[in-house]
Structures are given as structure tokens and as C-alpha cells.
Amino acid sequence: MNAEWNVRSCADQCVACQKKFADREALTSRLRFTEAGYLREDFCAECWPKREAPGAGEVSVWSATWAAPAPKAPEALKKETAESLLRELMETDDPTKRNVIFILAVMLERRRILVEKEVQMPEGTGQKIRVYEHKQTGESFVVPDPQLRLKEIETVQREVMELLGIAPPPGKGAADAVPPAAAPEAQNG
């Protein structure tokens, strides 16, 4: 017998009364086998004694302490910041920002905010044009692909980070960060 074990983690509320668990609140969990498969149920201390009879397919019972999830760390890249920067740069239609626009679009595609819908290659231009769609709003973004070389990407990424106000990652650009007065000492040492 090869059964699927898809048991969810602890709920944030009692299955019986729907009261949210407080941080460090004691609770009792049980695992039952139902027609749909294994079912985990989490009860507060008040509802546990009132539950359905223990023999109703109960496989396991255990006590636990509910721990509130830790607050999420702020993202290194705020989604709305990258998106608003992309919108702003696309409105200016500045040809010097085409590389930045492309990298922002790719970043938002990786974050599943934009979805690439089509790649066009107009005859005689030798250029790719990528059509992205915003998943939530349905807006279309037409982004020329500058066909960056690998060695150009890091420079463009730094420009994007600078525009977004993000510090470069540790170990990246360390040579650029050496103050001019310290540079000769570093070369001699």
C-alpha cells in the first residue's frame, strides 16, 4: 500500500471554535483517517474535551505549543519599487535606460509579477521585442531586448540597484569601494 502523506502543518486557529491561537498557547492535535485521506485537526484546550469521540478514525494524538510565525524580514527588493521604477522609466522613453528597463522586466518576471506572453522579431530590425503582461492588472509592457552580453549584465544590475537604493552585496565591487587614499597602500601591500 503506497498512500499519499500530505499532512498540513499546525493551523493558526482551533478547528472547532475557529479562535486564533495565541503565541505559546497549548493545543492538542490529532491525526484522523477519513475518506479523503489523512486529516490533521488542531484544538484549543477548551474544545479538546468536547471533540468527536476518539474512536472516529483517530490515528494519533499529541500536545503542542503554538508559536506565532516570526515577522517576515523586509525584502531586499520591494516589488512595488521595482515595478514603479519600470513604469517611470518606460514613460520617459530614454534610450539610455533600455538596458535597465529590460533587467527590471526580467526581475519582475522572476518574481512572477510579469509574465512573458510573446517574443516578436520585426523583419529587418534584427531586434527582439518581448511582450510582458502584468499578472494582476492585465497591462501589457512592450520591452525591447537589448541582447546584453554576460559581461554587461553586472554593470546594468549595479545601475538598477543604485536606482532602487539598494547597497551592493558584500564582496561585490569591493575594488570600487576602496577609497582613493587607501588604493596605493593596497597595491603596495
For residue 92, what pLDDT band results from cuts at 50, 70 and 90? confident
The tens digit of pLDDT for each residue in 127-182 reads 888 999 998 888 888 888 998 888 888 889 888 888 888 777 766 544 443 333 43
Sign (positive/negative) of CA torsion 173, 109, 103, 81? Answer: negative
Model confidence pLDDT, tens digit, residues 109-126: 999 999 999 888 878 878
C-alpha cell at 180: 582613493
Please state the pTM of the whole predicted model.
0.49
Q: Which long-range contacts (CB under 8 A, 24 or more apart) does 57-63 make?
A: 57/32, 57/33, 58/30, 58/31, 58/32, 59/30, 59/31, 59/32, 59/33, 60/30, 60/31, 61/28, 61/29, 61/30, 61/31, 62/28, 62/29, 62/30, 63/26, 63/27, 63/28, 63/29
Please spell the DSSP secondary structure of the chain, one letter per residue: -----------SB-TTT-PBPPTTEEEEEEEEEETTEEEEEEEETTTGGGSSPTTTTEEEEEEEEE-PPPPPPPPSS-HHHHHHHHHHHHHHT-GGGHHHHHHHHHHHHHTTSEEEEEEE--TTT--EEEEEEETTT--EEEEEE----HHHHHHHHHHHHHHHT-PPPTTSSTTTTS-TTTHHHHHH-
